[in-house]
Amino acid sequence: MALTVGLRPLTRALLRPWARVPGAALGRPAAGSGDGVRCFGSPRVLVEPDPAAGVAVMKMRNPPVNSLSLEFLTELLISLEKLENDKTFRGIIITSDCPGIFSAGLDLLEMYGRDPAHCAEYWKAVQELWLRVYLSNLVVIGAINGISPAGGCLLSLSCDYRVLANNPKYAIGLNETLLGIIAPFWFKDVLVNTIGHRAAERALQLGFLFPPSDALQVGIVDQVVPEDQVQSTARSVMAQWLAIPDHARQLTKNLVRKPTADRLLQQRDADIQNFVRFISRDSIQKSLHVYLEKLKQKKG
């Protein structure tokens, strides 16, 4: 898949992809790997490779809430691209290093009070991440160990399989309407593909955030397991998926997902322009302001 990252050279130059992970992670052998196999990554993305299994665990750590800022998106993209191009890996598990939070979704501060050029650059990166995960040739399993609203839910939905930790706080869904904004058509498409038209229609309009039992029932996740079993379950699911020959699985995945991805690919620039127009409206900026204030007040 030829995707351009399309981010400002400055943004990319600021990052140090593939730097050794600082602090505690530095030089720590990856879990389940033999001696000499090291964690690697970038400041906000920790990659724990298990070359023997052909699997890498990608841990998001953009505290406090793994909001998908431009820099974080860029690091995720670079990590994914690197893993995708390394023949060692056939599967990745995406999970969070921030306790209780998988991802709080798109970073509202990238959309609030920003100029159109910034919003356009940001949206391009959001599109890019979705396309990269959704169309990945790798098996992508979500080990969802925290709440995942909106963009966090999209990231989960783009995986091939979702394992959610059974904690009532770990709700998942496209809650955009609660913020006074709307889910873009491609977020909507992925939800419809996953839970069906009628359930998606209700969930999107009402901005449902499904707690684990409801999430399983509606099918937005594939499995709910005790919190301490999320990673091990993701590993055993991965083994099942890796038992299928790659070429057959990849062609099948492409067959199923390409029409959905094509809808965006055919109108990426228009989608960016629509986003910028929408998000720049005074009424939408006001809604974002109110929502951000609510988040602040919640703290007391």
Ligand X SMILES: CCCCCCCC/C=C\C/C=C/C(=O)SCCNC(=O)CCNC(=O)[C@H](O)C(C)(C)COP(=O)(O)OP(=O)(O)OC[C@H]1O[C@@H](n2cnc3c(N)ncnc32)[C@H](O)[C@@H]1OP(=O)(O)O
Nearest to ligand X of 137, 280 (CB atom): 280
Which residue, judged by CB position, is nearest to ligand X in the bound state? 105
Minimum CB–partner distance for residue 132 and ligand X (Å): 17
Minimum CB–partner distance for residue 241 and ligand X (Å): 27
Minimum CB–partner distance for residue 206 and ligand X (Å): 14
Q: Which ranges in the chain belong to alpha helices (H)?
A: 9-14, 70-85, 116-134, 151-157, 185-195, 197-206, 212-218, 230-242, 246-265, 268-280, 282-298
Nearest to ligand X of 1, 290 (CB atom): 290
Structural contact between residues 132 and 77, judged by C-beta atoms closer than 8 angstroms: yes
The catalytic position among 76, 83, 106, 174 is 106
Q: Which residues are CB-contacts of 264 (< 8 A; sequence separation ≥ 6)?
A: 127, 130, 131, 185, 186, 271
CA dist 66 to 56, 63, 97, 144, 146, Å?
19, 5, 9, 13, 10
106 is catalytic: yes
CA dist 75 and 237 (Å) reads 26
The catalytic position among 62, 66, 145, 175 is 175
Minimum CB–partner distance for residue 40 and ligand X (Å): 27
Nearest to ligand X of 19, 206 (CB atom): 206
The catalytic position among 146, 151, 152, 173 is 151
Q: Is 99 helix (H, G, I), strand (E, B) or coil?
A: coil
Tokens of 42: 């970038």
Minimum CB–partner distance for residue 146 and ligand X (Å): 8
CA dist 267 and 288 (Å) reads 26
Q: Measured in whole angstroms, how far is the alpha carbon of residue 125 from the centre of its chain?
A: 12
Nearest to ligand X of 56, 157 (CB atom): 157
298: left (phi over 0), alpha (psi -120 to 50) or beta: alpha
CA dist 5 and 27 (Å) reads 29
φ, ψ for residue 6 (rounded to 5)?
60, 30
175 is catalytic: yes
Nearest to ligand X of 107, 160 (CB atom): 107
The catalytic position among 71, 176, 191, 204 is 176
Binding site for ligand X (CB under 6 A): 64-65, 67, 101, 104-109, 147, 149-151, 175-176, 179, 181-182, 184, 274-275, 278-279, 295-296, 298-299
Give catalytic residues, as residue numbers: 106, 151, 175-176
